[in-house]
Amino acid sequence: MKVVLFCGGRGTRMRSELPGGDLPKPMQLVGPRPLLWHVMRYYAHFGHKDFLLCLGYGANSIKEFFLNYQETDSNDFVLNGGRVEPLSTDISDWSITFVDTGLDTPIGERLRRVRPHLDGAEMFLANYADVLCDVPLTDVIDRFAVTDAGASMLAVPPNNTFHCVDLGEGGLVGGITPVSRMPLWVNGGFFVLRQEIFEHIPEGGDLVADGCAELAKHGRLLAYPYRGYWRPTDTVNQRLELDRAWARGDRPWALWEAS
C-alpha cells in the first residue's frame, strides 16, 4: 500500500540547538537517523515500502540524504578488499517518490498535488513525518477495510503535562485531573484513506480541518483509539528526549528491531 508522508512544513516551533539548526524538522536526528527515516522504517516493518514524500521546505536536505544514503550508519558490514558488503540493509527494497508540493502549502493541498502518483489506489496510507508510535498498523488497516468509511485517523490522549482544574462555586477547586486522563482524544495522524477524501478537500484546503471534518459530518470518518506509545516532536525538547531514549535503548516505536 502506498504511504504519503507530509514532510514539507517549516517546523517553526523546533529550533535545533546544534550546528545545522536550519535542517527541516523531518531531518532532525533521533539516534543515527532522522525522524523521517524512523517513520518510514515503521511502515516498512509492516510491508508498506512504496513512499510518496510531499516536499517543501528543506527539500534538498531530504533528497540528498537518500541520494547519498549510507547503509553502514545503521547496519553491520564487512569490508572486503576495500569493498563494503552490508550484512543487512534498510532501504534497498523501498520505492520513494519525491514530489515538490510547495513551501507554504497546507497539508490537504499537498495531498491533492500527489494524487496523480497514487494511481487510483482504492486505499492508501498517510501521515506526518515527525510522529513516532508503536500502534499495530495491520490492525488499524484491517478495521478500516471492513467499513465503508472514507477515512480513518489515529485518536490518542493529549500528550502534555497540564492538569484540568474543576472549578466549583466561589472558585473552590473540586478536583485536579491530568489532561491525559480526561475523556479527550486528539488527532494522532496515521491515516488510512480512500479516494473519497479528495472530494472533501478544496483547493488550498487542509486534510483534517476540511477533508476529515466533512467526512465526520456525514458519519464517514473512523477513529482508531490508542493509548499506547505515541510521541510528537513539535519542539526541540521533545526531539532531544527521543534522542536520549534511543541512546538508552528505550525505543518502543522501533518495532523492526524485534523482528
Provide the grid cell at 24: 527541516
Q: What is the dihedral angle through the alpha carbons of 79, 80, 83, 89, rounded to the nearest 10 degrees? A: -60
When pLDDT is averaged across residues 22-35 and rounded to a whole number, the result is 90
CB-based contact 221:215 (threshold 8 Å): yes
pLDDT at residue 138 in the model:
98
Query: What are the two backbone dihedrals, phi and then psi, of residue 231, each rounded to the nearest 5 degrees?
Result: -135, 120
Number of domains within the chain? 1
DSSP code at position 186: E
pLDDT band at 76 (very low <50, low <70, confident <90, very high): confident
pLDDT band at 54 (very low <50, low <70, confident <90, very high): very high
Burial of 120 (0-12, 13-18, 19+ CB in 10 A): exposed
- pLDDT tens digits, 142-168: 999 999 999 999 999 987 767 888 888
Q: Which domain covers residue 181, as residue numbers? A: 2-258
Distance CA 214, CA 233 (A): 27
- pLDDT tens digits, 177-218: 877 777 789 999 999 999 999 999 999 999 999 999 999 999
Higher pLDDT, 83 or 47: 47
What CATH number should be reported for the domain holding residue 201? 3.90.550.10
**Is the pLDDT confidence value at 19 over 50?**
no
Sign, Cα dihedral of 148, 149, 150, 153: negative
pLDDT at residue 161 in the model:
67
